[in-house]
Amino acid sequence: MKRLLLAILLLLPLPGFVLAGEIRLGEPLTLTEVTKVSDINKNAGKYVGKRVLIEGMVINVCAARGCWMDISSDIPFEKIQVKVVDGEIVFPLEAKGRTALVEGIAEELKLSREEAVELARHQAMESGGTFDPATITGPVNFLRIRGLGAVIR
């Protein structure tokens, strides 16, 4: 009986191993120098509107359309979001936990409280989470990367 269970477990694919090898999405990467996510977050004025290449672990992916993913920073508990036009690139859910190289344009969003509430509600719905509008008390500014191309390893 134990051998049968072991054989079944060995034959079942594990979620973390569904994707094998490297996945290339969108435009080919053209930059070779990686910019630290922490540098972008710390020096927004230097990077907004510029093309950058970032690298980090994928910590979350849009479950609804694959239109965004959160990339970890080189500083613990810091991240940046990569957003693409719906359907142009679809980030696979299996990318979560893998390393990604992403090239895109750094952008700063300045949202009113109402816009920030709507965005947070939408993202919670896409990721299957919950959201309390009371957590947003005023206008919100944040940085993200408008993704043009990615390699997921």
**Is 90 a domain residue?**
yes
The rounded distance, in Å, linking the Cα atoms of 117 and 133 is: 6
Residues facing residue 60 across a β-bridge: 70
Q: What integer pLDDT is reported at residue 128 of this predicted model?
A: 74
The rounded distance, in Å, linking the Cα atoms of 49 and 145 is: 10
What tens-digit pLDDT sequence spans the chain (153 residues)? Answer: 555 444 444 444 443 344 468 999 999 999 999 999 999 999 999 999 999 999 999 999 988 888 999 999 999 999 999 999 888 899 999 999 999 999 999 999 999 999 989 888 887 887 777 888 888 888 988 899 999 999 999
User: In the chain, which residue ranges form alpha helices assigned H by DSSP?
Assistant: 2-11, 37-42, 44-47, 113-127
Check: pTM over 0.75? Answer yes or no.
yes
**Is 56 a domain residue?**
yes
**Is 93 a domain residue?**
yes
The total number of structural domains in the chain stands at 1
Is residue 26 helix, strand or coil? strand
Give yes or no for a contact between 124 and 131, defined as CB atoms under 8 angstroms apart: yes
Q: What integer pLDDT is reported at residue 20 of this predicted model?
A: 61
Residue 106 host element (H or E): strand 99-111
Q: What integer pLDDT is reported at residue 125 of this predicted model?
A: 80
Q: What integer pLDDT is reported at residue 130 of this predicted model?
A: 83
Residues facing residue 47 across a β-bridge: none
Q: What integer pLDDT is reported at residue 143 of this predicted model?
A: 94
Containing structural domain, residue 80: 23-152
**Is 10 a domain residue?**
no
Q: What integer pLDDT is reported at residue 86 of this predicted model?
A: 84
**Is 33 a domain residue?**
yes
Q: What integer pLDDT is reported at residue 56 of this predicted model?
A: 97
**Is 16 a domain residue?**
no
CATH code of residue 47 = 2.40.50.140
**Is 15 a domain residue?**
no
**Is 11 a domain residue?**
no
